[in-house]
């Protein structure tokens, strides 16, 4: 590693250390600072993403968002995504589940999302005011994705769920996504479908974050910006690398996980 690279990493390490000390009251209970910093530095050095063009302060700000939420970059609960001279923060599907379980005012027993493909059996029913969901997926089904659903089961026996067709998911993607043609949508379409419906379900869950910093980080970690509606999809940009992404074809939209 070149001396400049070492200096760059040292600047990030020192900046993160100072920021965590300065904002210790915004961190979750039982936050392990040493382990968090070690895992962050491992991610920065593993070569998966190129941070060389990113300002060190931008990297630190992004890593702090993971700290505020108590999510681990190394375990893939959230991501620091370099783009141009900045770094974007995004939560992962499993990170969303972790946050819902941790911050729900009504204790959650289980929460999950599934994609539905052609050939699967999915039935939602409401009888005498009681709602039920039945899902019988076809074994080893690689068929076309037709929708997704998310379910939240509470400790007290209550249940809420949400469903989205592919048309709804695509509308949400093209209207609200910060990067509708990103590598995540192109290469992990099924996972993004699950995250989309799970994030919408979370709007029905009373999440009580401990700090304003955690709440803002949760909003920043979404792939979607619901505060502003775009009349047209944003340009095809791959947020994982600093290049333009190719337009997604109809076949890619229904790609497997």
Burial class (CB in 10 A: 0-12, 13-18, 19+), 22: exposed
Average pLDDT over residues 87-99: 92
The domain tally of the chain equals 2
Whether residue 175 sits in one domain with residue 69: no
Using one digit for the tens of pLDDT, what is the confidence trace for 34-55?
A: 999 999 999 998 877 888 888 9
Percent of the chain residues past pLDDT 90, beyond the cut: 68
Strands across the sheet containing 108-117: 108-117, 145-154, 159-165
**pLDDT grade for 105, boundaries at 50, 70 and 90:** very high
Dump pLDDT digits (tens) for 163-222. Answer: 999 999 999 999 988 888 887 888 889 999 999 999 999 999 999 999 999 999 999 998
Q: DSSP string covering 42-96, please?
A: HHHHSSSS--TTS-HHHHHHHHHHHHHHT--TTTTSEEEEEETTEEEEEE-HHHH
Domain end point (choices 47, 69, 91): 91
89 pLDDT higher than 60: yes
- Quick one: 38 and 131 in the same domain? no
Do residue 167 and residue 249 come from a single domain?
yes
The domain boundary, picked from 91, 110, 126, lies at 91
Are 122 and 99 in a shared domain?
A: yes
Q: Do 249 and 203 share a structural domain?
A: yes
pLDDT in tens, 217-244: 999 998 887 544 333 333 333 333 333 3
* CA nearest neighbour of 37 among 89, 74, 3: 74
Give yes or no: residues 13 and 133 share one domain: no
Asked if 109 and 191 sit in the same domain, the reply is: yes
The residue segments making up the domain with residue 76 are: 3-91
CA trace torsion 40, 50, 191, 218 (10° rounding): 50
Residues 16 and 102 in one domain: no
Domain match, 107 and 204 both: yes
What sign results for the dihedral spanned by CA atoms 201, 101, 65, 182?
A: negative
Q: What is the CA radius of gyration of the chain?
A: 20
Global pTM?
0.78
Last-in-domain residue among 63, 91, 119: 91
Residues 68 and 192 in one domain: no
229 and 102 co-located in one domain: yes
pLDDT of residue 226: 52
- Mean pLDDT within 123-145: 93
Query: Same structural domain for residues 207 and 98?
Result: yes
């Amino acid at each position: 590693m070149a001396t400049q690279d070492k200096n760059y990493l040292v600047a990030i390490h020192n900046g993160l250390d100072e920021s965590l000390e300065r904002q210790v009251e915004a961190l979750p209970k039982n936050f392990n600072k040493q382990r968090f910093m070690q895992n962050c530095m491992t991610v920065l050095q593993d070569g998966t993403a190129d941070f060389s063009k990113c300002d060190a302060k931008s990297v630190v700000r992004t890593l702090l968002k993971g700290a505020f939420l108590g999510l681990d970059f190394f375990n893939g609960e959230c991501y620091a995504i370099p783009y141009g001279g900045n770094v974007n923060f995004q939560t992962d599907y499993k990170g969303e589940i972790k946050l819902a379980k941790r911050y729900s005012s009504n204790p959650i027993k289980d929460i999950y999302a599934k994609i539905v493909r052609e050939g699967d059996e999915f039935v939602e029913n409401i009888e005498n005011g009681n709602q039920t969901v039945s899902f019988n997926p076809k074994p080893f089904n690689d068929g076309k994705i037709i929708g997704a659903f998310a379910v939240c089961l509470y400790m007290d026996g209550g249940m809420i769920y949400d469903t989205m067709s592919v048309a709804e998911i695509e509308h949400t993607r093209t209207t609200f996504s910060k990067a509708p043609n990103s590598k995540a949508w192109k290469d992990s379409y099924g996972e993004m479908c699950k995250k989309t419906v799970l994030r919408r379900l979370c709007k029905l869950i009373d999440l009580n974050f401990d700090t304003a910093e955690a709440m803002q980080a949760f909003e920043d970690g979404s792939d979607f910006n619901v505060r502003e509606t775009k009349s047209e999809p944003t340009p095809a940009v791959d947020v994982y690398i600093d290049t333009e992404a190719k337009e997604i074809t109809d076949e890619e939209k229904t790609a497997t996980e």
